[in-house]
A and B are shown apart, each in its own frame.
Chain A
């Protein structure tokens, strides 16, 4: 079965430090890739997406992600963490365009003042 792996269920970084959240998918065919953020007691908000084209994707709030086919990865980064970035982050994949998003287990990001 197709899966999405997010390494690290909890990540803590200091304010101003680099944020790196990892996501790997399981397919030899490049799927559509998404990162969503969930703040407490809220729904999911799209940060960025990769469908086709440029492999470095820029999203909202200073986040970006790079699609690496050779590594089947789509890691999320932000150069400088802000307190407001504390939330849960989900990587999601639409394999083969079948309109079912498969989500990773999520990574809870904590920002240390």
Chain B
């Protein structure tokens, strides 16, 4: 158990809908990272927040957005969902600057029908 929690574990929805994925980092970790794992694209970095501020952006679609709240939990919002958004979404957290371990949560499996 990494100490990072993600809810829900599974999510099934329809095209065009909007969903919110939630992540609680390890106690004391200020950085939260979101990754997408799909068969087509593999594991891709989406976005990072550090202590409530956006710090780095990767291949995140404009339909996707994220935020980190004062209690350090983070939410990833996915809107206007398409079939291709079906994937495993991981959250990771870290308490150190770059070059140190990111602890991964168990993931949320999103299925868009």
Contact = CB atoms under 8 A, between A and B. Distances in A.
Main secondary structure of the interface of A (DSSP, over half): strand
A7 to B, nearest CB: 15
Given A99-B48, A100-B48, A101-B45, A46 B101 contact: yes
B106 A32 contact: no
Interface of A: 32, 34, 36, 42-46, 49, 51, 90, 92, 94, 97-106
A105 B4 CA distance: 24
A49 to B, nearest CB: 6
Contacts of A51: 99-100
B45 A49 contact: no
A49 B100 CA distance: 8
A49 B101 CA distance: 8
B104 A45 contact: yes
A97 B104 contact: no
Nearest to B42: A105
Contacts of A36: 104
A106 B98 contact: no
Contact of B42 (A49, A97, A99, A103): A103
B105 A43 contact: yes
B40 to A, nearest CB: 11
Given A32-B99, A43-B2, A98-B56, A103 B90 contact: no
